[in-house]
Structure 1
Amino acid sequence: MLGSPAFGKADLTNCERELIHLAGSVQSHGVLLALQEPELRVLQASANVEELLGASPAQLLGASVGRLGGDIERCVRRIASQGRLVDPEALRCRVDVNGNEREFEGALHRIDGDVLLVEIEPVGPACPIDTVDLPSQKLLALLGDAVHRISSASTIGTLSDTLVKCCRDMLGYDRVMVYKFDPDGHGKIIAEARDPRLESLLGHHYPATDIPQRARELYLRTRLRVLTDVHYVASPLVPQRLPGHDDELDMSLCYLRSMSPLHLQYLKNMGVTATLVVSLVREGRLWGLIACHHYSARNLRFAMRAAADLLAEVVSTRIAAIENYAYAQVAIQVRRLEQRLVEATSTEGDWRLALFRNPRTLLQPLDATGAALFQEGELLTAGETPNHAELRELLRWIDGQHFDGLFSCASVERAEPALASLTTMASGVVAVRLSSSRPDYLMWFRKEQLTSVTWAGDPSKPVLDDNDPLTLSPRRSFAAWSEIVRGTALPWSVTELALARAFGAALIDIIVQVNAVRFLIAEHQLAQIRTTVSNAKEPVMIADPHGRALFANRCFFELAGRGAGDDAAAAELGDLGDAAQWFQEPERVRQMLRTLAQERHSWRGELALDLGNGTSLPTALRAEPVSARDGSVLGFFLIFTDLRDSRRAAAAREHLEQSLSNAVRDEALSRQVDAADVIGAIVSNASLAAMDIADGNMGPTVVPLLEELEASTRRAAALYDRMKAFVG
């Protein structure tokens, strides 16, 4: 890749692009073999095969892997016949080493369709590094206890503290940390369990540059990486390239792949000798890492690695559940707000008065110090805010940005220096767009807050005076280094941003209702209001007191599959009773309309629209009569909601629950009691997560979240099988 330094040739000016997946060598405690199918001919081997397998590269290249003796060929063929092997599969085998049959374990995966990459390392006394192992019963007991404790954690802090303690008890590393990434890629240690002799790193920040983007991508592809000894001498691949291939071997999924010299120097500067790093993944993104450090050489048996990988998968599921439960609480707060504003609209004629009457109810949920509403050219404020002229300058700047309905910034001064005067009152801002046709926004503000950030070393001094790659140091000193951060507010949390977005959605819905009422009250306002109603994202119909359709917006006609809405199309509807033919149960619709007109009570229910092509569309309907002050009915408005997403979410949840039920039943029939206990705990954790996710009511995002949860649970079960393969 143009501009990307080769492996081992990077410095801190270009390490972000280092080709770390083309390492061309392995850690010396294991060997790599590239085998050509179907003969399983050795195409490439790490140079240490003679030391660990008793045969030199020259003796192996071109020969069948069966040349190594033992049962390695049979084991490789058995696994190779099971599928595509796009992800590594566990391998246990024996090799005849200088007349003695020795046990090996590792993994293999397939590249380029017919090349198998086999990685193995010796087990037992033949292993050159101290290797941690636990009896299977003890490992299962520790794993089961950890899953139960993790499943009961109700906050990210409690979950992280539980995780590091369980990992240290099970794996025995000197230090275990949970490292969480913020939206800018910087990391912070949010939990730690350590040997009491070690200085704490809890709360330390690490700049985003400490983990290059290419490394982050590999953390998503290979969830677990072990470094047994930072002082290892890398064993190169022989030959350097696969025969017949122009490029170097892609080692992205190789667990023995050599690590970047920059990373090794980084660890040496910290005094760390061995590491285990496991990815925590949330919705396909790297949420954080479990980072284990040891201060002497250390290896793990594959059963232990599989247990750690499984535990990280369970934790990722719990993170999703905890964060989505917060969204459920957001929905409750928004419903309460919406109720208050609807009541204010009907009694006072203006929802904005209720929104700003009690500033605390508007500011507290987002922990804001001020707020402003720009709506239809008017400006209302609450709390401590800049003056109106400054606020309108801020509005013009935000309206010129590109975002998806919600804008957030913790430092307006840094993003737009021309607005530095706002820092005292509005250093941080969140803005939700309320209209697609006008610059209408609800904004929250936070004051500047001087913050002391503790970094693990001075982030502004990453290299030595020279730039010699041999002496290059990503962080020469890891002594705590504090920085006073000015011109910024406390960052907005994920939950606070979700709450702001939900508030905005509720206000948009209320605005649609208010504008529908205005439509009926005053014909002379029709031209001003029509654009707002017509462009609303909610499908809506409006009728006069006699049930004659006055208006239906585009979203309604698009929902019903009848093309774009306009006055002519609305006129074709005629009486609302005539529109009943657009539904699968026209008589039920007519009865609802008669009841609405006679009893003058709102109606809520579900109706299926007939799309005219043999298909239907489930909708939720809210029908409201609008009364004049004298008690007469001015008319009605009907607002529709597409229920396809919620139905798909319900089906996905039902499918997941059935899948989990089958998993429990199958495990109870096929596994021993201790195994069923672990699988049962994993399934129980997934069931709790499913309930929390579904209760979050996040619309279209629920289905992929539940599908991700099911895939995660299946992967956890597969990891359990892998672990059993090593401890059985």
Structure 2
Amino acid sequence: MTTSPPFGQADLTNCERELIHLAGSVQPHGFLLVLREPALRIVQASANVEQHLGLAATALLGRPPSELGGDFDAVLRALAGTALDEPVPRDCRLAPDGSERRFEVAVHRVADACGSVLVAEFEPADADAADVVDVPAPQIVEHLTRAVQRFGATTTIGTLADAVVRSVRALTGYDRVMVYKFDPDGHGQVIAEARDARLEPLLGHHYPATDIPQRARELYLRNRLRVLVDVHYTASPLVPVRDPDTGADLDMSMCQLRSMSPLHLQYLKNMGVTATLVASLVREGALWGLIACHHYRPRNLRLPVRAACDLIAEVASTRIAAIEHYAHAQVAIQVRRLEQRLIEATSTEGDWRLALFRTPQALLQPLDATGAVLYYEGEFLTAGESPSTPELRALLQWIDGQVGAQPPAAPFACSSLARAQPALDSLTPTASGVLAVKLSTTRPDYLLWLRKEQLHNVTWAGDPSKPMAANDPLQLSPRRSFAAWSEIVRGTAQPWTRSEVAMARAFGAALADIIAQVNAVRLLIVEHQRAQVLATVASAVEPVLVADADRRVLFANESLRRLARRDVAAGTPLASIADWFADMRAAGRMLETVCHGHAPWRGELALRLPAHGGDAAVELPVEVRAEVVPTRDGRPLGFILVFDDRSGPHRAADARAHLEEALVRAGFGAAAAPARDALTQAILANASLAAMDIADADAASPVPALLAELETSMQRATALVARIRDFARGA
């Protein structure tokens, strides 16, 4: 059984599992008190409380907060009833010896076996230290207003990241500020940097995934902002080390003063870094990247400045989601063009495959591919550079084994075929990178995009193949050398981006849809192929209904029966399906347009679903695509109706309406517009723009979750603004 090493006892072989959230000590620039609820008696204190208050930690144990003097007791009463899931900052005064001292305190709640405790972290606010960044609250608000406005104007990740690093450095004064983005394998790259001119640039440098252990990544998701004041600090332990009521270590996941792993401190020392700030960039609940700040002397930030950095990261995360989702939404435009071209080719030529490959660049360019391959019904069609047919058969056999039982259009991506399957190394010159989508549930039909081998330099911050020379974490660094180290990556293609994978998925889904329609046409044209075509249509994910030229139903697949909760027999008059819809007149007009007007129809109607299997009768929004299939002389050969469940987009619309209501409740509604200041207007404008970008997508399935995440982000932004204004009023 694999065990997790306690804090400070990890080495370079097991640091992934180090219990860094159970540090049991704090950085000494502040002190920590733990108070058991509901009595609010002090059960733990950091040993350095004596340096800050002149009282030994043991003398505080069991005492109420009122005995510390000042207004700490009043601060706790004011926070009563607050969730305190994350630290809430307040100004506080303590006077244990009658001499009043001012502190900034952050309070949060930790649940444990005996109920819960309050964790209070104090940092001196009176001292005018040279290493503490203290920006007046009005100036912070002005700076944030300009920053949020700049973020909202960006349209690419690069320009956004550049605006972020400039904004954070201007506010905090760190020597170096970077935006660090993770790739799908967890490796990181510096994509933006603002630095002192005397420092060597790190822009473009790559960092192995091992530089940030998994436990640290999990904490970055929970505790979005972390500050290290001086890498050379001596940690102050908790007294007692474990909670006397539970016998357990204090969960310090959300503690701002929490000591950092000795391995991480050694890592920073080897870089020559003295102080850091790290803020998380989160997208769809996952760690997208980090804002990483380095300083080469001790440096601390007042809590309002930290809140401002947190707000910058929060707004930037929202903009990242909007930019990336908007880019994905543009895929739908290209897919619709492809779909129309293939449908037209099917009607006029009888074969959509020829139209797909007639203009190779239309297939290759959107995904920056050097080759493309379609394998359909046992035949290959290729465009651009591709391997030989025997090599392609071996490649498809391997890909099909990797894909397994995944649904159609689920992408498979690989940027180094030789590493993933050495037996296919001979394909490297033309197919080092492969992006594949499966087009059928019953046959190994695939559309593949290929990228040939690309020799390129990767600049690593230290040699990634030499992480250590021994195993003593206190004497050896995670990597001794941080000099730029370049390697030529052979047998590798340019990795497929998230947008490209999304585009492949959309292309595959469109082709799967087209294939269902085409096979329905073939059912009308080639009767002797009926059995084969019928099986394909019957297994299609898309609900399809086919009618002949006499407007009688020839076939309805199982997907349609499940969607409509109805059986429809062959020979049923097509006009009778108008009874399926809540608005029968509208459905009748749709059928009239297609059957008598011989014109295509596309629109949204509501299916009236009967009670079935314990489910109550409901109305289901569907998009209906009705096409008339002409013969060569223009007469109608038959009709095809394809149904698409639109309940997902409706949920997206409901989610957007819910977000708008939440904005109104939070004071961002139109009635409150005259009272808004520039920062509030900027945050609202950014949120509104993000909401529009997110909602402007045909693929509606992730939209409700993204809008809900945007609402949560707005709530956090509102709270952070309130905190900053609290400090402004206090000032």
TM-score by shorter chain over 0.5: yes
1:561 shift after superposition: 2.3
Counterpart residue number, 2:609: 611
Deviations 1:499-527, CA, capped at 9 Å, x for gaps: 11111111111111110101111221111
2:446 to 441, 450, 475: 441
1:451 to 441, 451, 456: 456
Q: Choose 350-359 or 98-107, whichever is displaced more.
A: 98-107
Counterpart residue number, 2:74: 74
For 2:285, the aligned partner's letter is G
Counterpart residue number, 1:625: 628
Counterpart residue number, 2:521: 517
1:115 to 114, 117, 123: 117
For 2:29, the aligned partner's letter is H
Deviations 1:18-49, CA, capped at 9 Å, x for gaps: 00001010111111111012221111111111
Counterpart residue number, 2:40: 40
Partner-residue secondary structure (3-state), 1:120: strand
Separation of aligned partners in 2, 1:109 and 1:249: 13
Are residues 696 and 592 of structure 1, via their aligned partners in 2, closer, same or farther at CA, if it must alter by over 3 Å?
A: closer
Separation of aligned partners in 2, 1:727 and 1:234: 32
Counterpart residue number, 1:124: 126
**Equivalent pair of 1:664/1:680 in contact (CA under 8 Å):** no
Deviations 1:548-591, CA, capped at 9 Å, x for gaps: 222111111111123xxxxxx43278222333322222344334
**Equivalent pair of 1:11/1:469 in contact (CA under 8 Å):** yes
Partner-residue secondary structure (3-state), 2:554: strand
**Equivalent pair of 1:130/1:297 in contact (CA under 8 Å):** yes
Counterpart residue number, 2:614: none
Counterpart residue number, 1:411: 416
Separation of aligned partners in 2, 1:632 and 1:477: 76
1:388 shift after superposition: 0.3
Separation of aligned partners in 1, 2:683 and 2:366: 34
* 1:1-150 matched pairs, under 5 angstroms: 2-79=2-79, 81-112=80-111, 113-125=115-127, 130-150=131-151
Counterpart residue number, 2:580: 582
* 1:304-383 matched pairs, under 5 angstroms: 304-383=305-384
Separation of aligned partners in 2, 1:262 and 1:192: 25
Partner-residue secondary structure (3-state), 1:471: coil
Q: C-alpha root-mean-square deviation of aligned residues, in Å?
A: 1.8
Separation of aligned partners in 1, 2:670 and 2:631: 65
For 1:607, the aligned partner's letter is L
Are residues 10 and 665 of structure 1, via their aligned partners in 2, closer, same or farther at CA, if it must alter by over 3 Å?
A: closer
* 1:265-276 matched pairs, under 5 angstroms: 265-276=266-277
Q: Choose 580-589 or 528-537, whichever is displaced more.
A: 580-589
Deviations 1:587-608, CA, capped at 9 Å, x for gaps: 4433433443222222222221
Partner-residue secondary structure (3-state), 1:413: helix
Residue 635 of structure 1 pairs with residue 633 of structure 2: no
Deviations 1:237-262, CA, capped at 9 Å, x for gaps: 11111013233111111111100000
**Equivalent pair of 2:266/2:474 in contact (CA under 8 Å):** no
For 2:323, the aligned partner's letter is I
Q: Choose 328-337 or 369-378, whichever is displaced more.
A: 328-337
Counterpart residue number, 2:547: 543
Counterpart residue number, 1:565: none
Separation of aligned partners in 1, 2:23 and 2:561: 58
* Count of aligned residue pairs for this structure pair: 717
1:617 shift after superposition: 0.7
**Equivalent pair of 2:663/2:669 in contact (CA under 8 Å):** no
Separation of aligned partners in 2, 1:83 and 1:446: 55
Residue 478 of structure 1 pairs with residue 482 of structure 2: yes
**Equivalent pair of 2:554/2:570 in contact (CA under 8 Å):** no
Separation of aligned partners in 1, 2:335 and 2:638: 28
**Equivalent pair of 1:129/1:299 in contact (CA under 8 Å):** no
Q: Choose 134-143 or 184-193, whichever is displaced more.
A: 134-143
Residue 303 of structure 1 pairs with residue 301 of structure 2: no
Q: Choose 226-235 or 546-555, whichever is displaced more.
A: 546-555
Separation of aligned partners in 1, 2:397 and 2:670: 61
Residue 596 of structure 1 pairs with residue 594 of structure 2: yes
Separation of aligned partners in 2, 1:284 and 1:481: 33
Counterpart residue number, 2:172: 171
For 1:111, the aligned partner's letter is V
Are residues 588 and 159 of structure 1, via their aligned partners in 2, closer, same or farther at CA, if it must alter by over 3 Å?
A: closer
Separation of aligned partners in 1, 2:665 and 2:571: 50
Separation of aligned partners in 2, 1:593 and 1:694: 31
Separation of aligned partners in 1, 2:139 and 2:339: 54
Are residues 573 and 652 of structure 1, via their aligned partners in 2, closer, same or farther at CA, if it must alter by over 3 Å?
A: farther
1:658 shift after superposition: 4.2
1:135 shift after superposition: 1.7
Separation of aligned partners in 1, 2:638 and 2:150: 57
Separation of aligned partners in 2, 1:365 and 1:572: 42
Deviations 1:124-179, CA, capped at 9 Å, x for gaps: 21x77721111222221111111111111111111111111111111111110101
For 2:136, the aligned partner's letter is P
Separation of aligned partners in 2, 1:519 and 1:106: 74
Deviations 1:446-466, CA, capped at 9 Å, x for gaps: 0111111101111122223x3
For 2:103, the aligned partner's letter is F
**Equivalent pair of 1:129/1:228 in contact (CA under 8 Å):** no
Are residues 666 and 60 of structure 1, via their aligned partners in 2, closer, same or farther at CA, if it must alter by over 3 Å?
A: farther
Partner-residue secondary structure (3-state), 1:100: coil
For 1:16, the aligned partner's letter is E
TM-score, normalization: structure 2? 0.95
* 1:152-231 matched pairs, under 5 angstroms: 152-231=153-232
Are residues 623 and 666 of structure 1, via their aligned partners in 2, closer, same or farther at CA, if it must alter by over 3 Å?
A: closer
Deviations 1:399-456, CA, capped at 9 Å, x for gaps: 0113551100000100011111110110000001111110000001001111111011
**Equivalent pair of 2:593/2:600 in contact (CA under 8 Å):** no
1:207 shift after superposition: 0.4
Q: Choose 358-367 or 219-228, whichever is displaced more.
A: 358-367
Partner-residue secondary structure (3-state), 1:506: helix
1:657 shift after superposition: 3.3
Are residues 668 and 72 of structure 1, via their aligned partners in 2, closer, same or farther at CA, if it must alter by over 3 Å?
A: farther
1:57 shift after superposition: 1.3
Q: Choose 57-66 or 592-601, whichever is displaced more.
A: 592-601
Gapped runs of 5+ residues in structure 1?
563-568
Partner-residue secondary structure (3-state), 1:286: strand
What percent identity do the matched residue pairs reach? Answer: 62
Gapped runs of 5+ residues in structure 2?
612-616
Separation of aligned partners in 2, 1:633 and 1:168: 68
Partner-residue secondary structure (3-state), 1:443: strand
Residue 431 of structure 1 pairs with residue 436 of structure 2: yes
Separation of aligned partners in 2, 1:668 and 1:314: 24
Are residues 628 and 524 of structure 1, via their aligned partners in 2, closer, same or farther at CA, if it must alter by over 3 Å?
A: same
1:689 shift after superposition: 0.9
**Equivalent pair of 1:29/1:129 in contact (CA under 8 Å):** no
**Equivalent pair of 2:32/2:121 in contact (CA under 8 Å):** yes
**Equivalent pair of 1:276/1:291 in contact (CA under 8 Å):** yes
